[in-house]
Amino acid sequence: MHGTKKDISHNLALFFIDGVLFMPAMTFIAIATVIPFFLEYLGASTMQIAMAASLAFICTFLMQPLFGSIASRTRVMSKTFGWILITQRVIFLAFALVIPLFAFSPPLLVWMFLFFWGVFNIFVGSYSVFFTPLLLKLLPPEKRGAMRGIGFAIGSLLGVGVAVLIPVIINRFVFPYNFVIIFASGTILLIFDAILFLLMREHEDVEPRVPLSVLQYIKGIPSSVKEDTLFRTMIIICTLMVVANALLPYYTLYALRVFNATESHIANLSALAIISAAVGFIIFGIIVDRWGPVLTSIIAACFITVAGVLALVSNSLSLLYVAWVFASLGNTCYLVTVSLLLDKVTSSGKIPLYVGVLTTISLVLSSAVLLLLAPALERIGFSLLFWVVSICGAGSLAVNLLSFSKQIKAQEMAIRK
């Protein structure tokens, strides 16, 4: 299934480089830090900033059935995925280069950004339904965590340099060319990252994927949830964590609105998130290879819960930094975990459908919470945000310990017998 030893080594090296490139690239266009600062600079409203964050979820949700159908029918997933990514990133690069044409009107530029950010995130709908099956297909279980974790860790450390560089670019270059440089740099790195998937060595599946049309894919969503108790429980624990992680941009808005954070403070948040990711990817990658994704799913929920509680009682930017680190570690741990957790729940032939179902449900709820919180935060305050994060983390942890982990153990014992 995974190919020859040379194929595995070749693909492992490409997944490693993927981490090295992806992390600094996304630091340049981070939805949790750079984009809120960009929109706040342009005078965007809280609702517009919430729209930018929620577009990642809404567009992914809308396009998930299409990409899920394509993934279930394509013969060589890596090549198809690579060209999808190149298309996505070339379009956003074009937007970055024409920013000066719309700089005369900040309100117009806000809406132009939201449009092209939406287009960018339409293609994000392909990420989970292609990447997860590819990872599980091309790499054996004992090689899926540590080496990729090291790659993402190195990328995260490079991202620290990017985070330090961002305020320098903002201050050294006049608007709008500072943001042209920032967005274009990140997108060019992402284009090189996309090319890696065109270079992967992929063989025919031992267990063929179940080909689905878009309509069949949509119809398969309720049945997969209804008929599979274990998967249904996984959806609950993962969705609660996704909702909490989706609220990370509001941490930045909280720092800007309550503590009057400057670009240097935002750079600190970026650097802390990246360092946390670097440490997390290595540690959690080793843990998931050795003890499995169930344990890391529990750890992720614990970090998210602690982050929410700390942010709730924070009365200074310094304490918010601590909460931000825990939130970033929780997010990193979840990213390491979720793809491998699916391998515990279903067969390889159904993974494109199952990953699509999980992503669809979690994104719908995340988008709803993001948008509903925007006006609520204006009226009630940011304490509501951190109550939601704390409850989501604690809820995921409780369901995991009381139900999901026990079901996994029972399933493994039944297989051994």
Question: What's the mean pLDDT in 212-234?
Answer: 73
Q: What's the rounded Cα separation, in Å, for the pair 306 and 284?
A: 17
pLDDT at 230 > cutoff 90: no
State how many domains the chain has: 1
Owning domain of residue 104: 5-416
pLDDT the model gives residue 378: 77
Is the per-residue pLDDT at 75 higher than 80? no
pLDDT of residue 353: 73
Contacts of 368 (CB under 8 A, 6+ apart): none
| DSSP percent split of the chain into helix, strand, coil, nearest 5 | 85, 0, 15
Which carries the bigger pLDDT value, residue 73 or residue 416? Answer: 73
Residue-wise pLDDT tens digits, 296-347? 999 999 999 999 999 888 888 888 899 999 999 999 999 888 878 877 776 5
Quickly state the pLDDT bin for 3 (edges 50, 70, 90). Answer: low
The yes-or-no verdict on residue 394 having pLDDT over 90 is yes
Are the C-beta atoms of residues 34 and 182 closer than 8 Å to each other? yes
pLDDT of residue 1 exceeding 60, the answer is: no
Check residue 40 and give its pLDDT.
Answer: 86
- As a whole-number percent, the residues of the chain with pLDDT over 90 amount to 29
**Which tokens belong to 267?**
């750079």
CATH number of the CATH domain containing 195 = 1.20.1250.20
DSSP 8-state code for residue 141 = G
Report the pLDDT averaged over residues 203-213: 58
Mean of all residue pLDDT scores within the chain: 84
What percentage of the chain exceeds 70 in pLDDT? 90
In the prediction, which pLDDT does 297 show? 93
Weakest mean pLDDT among 12-16, 79-83, 269-273: 269-273
- Encoding tokens for residue 344? 């515990």
Per-residue confidence (pLDDT) for residue 275, from 0 to 100: 83
- Higher pLDDT: 168 or 414? It is 168
Instruction: Flag whether pLDDT at 206 surpasses 50.
Output: no
Instruction: Give me the pLDDT at residue 354, please.
Output: 79
CA distance 40 to 376: 19
Side chain identity at residue 257, one-letter code:
R
User: Nearest Cα to 31, choosing from 245, 338, 322, 275?
Assistant: 245
Q: Write the CB contacts of 382 (distance below 8 Å, at least 6 apart in sequence).
A: 250, 254, 257, 258
Q: At residue 34, does pLDDT exceed 50?
A: yes
Query: Which stretch of 14-18, 88-92, 185-189 has the lowest confidence by average pLDDT?
Result: 14-18
- Which carries the bigger pLDDT value, residue 355 or residue 401? 401
DSSP state at residue 349: G
As a whole number of angstroms, the distance between CA 154 and CA 157 comes to 5
Q: Report the length, in residues, of the chain.
A: 417
Task: Please tell me the predicted confidence (pLDDT) of residue 241.
Answer: 94
Within 346-404, residue ranges assigned H as helices are: 351-380, 383-399
Most confident of the ranges 26-40, 290-304, 333-347, 349-363: 290-304
DSSP tag of 346: S
Say how far apart CA 386 and CA 312 lie, in whole Å: 5
pLDDT digits (tens, 9 = 90+) for 149-205: 788 788 878 888 888 888 889 889 998 999 999 999 999 999 999 999 999 988 765
What pLDDT, in 10s, does the model give residues 247-281? 887 888 888 888 887 777 877 887 788 788 888 88
Whether residue 97 has pLDDT greater than 70: yes
The pLDDT of 103-130, averaged and rounded, is 89
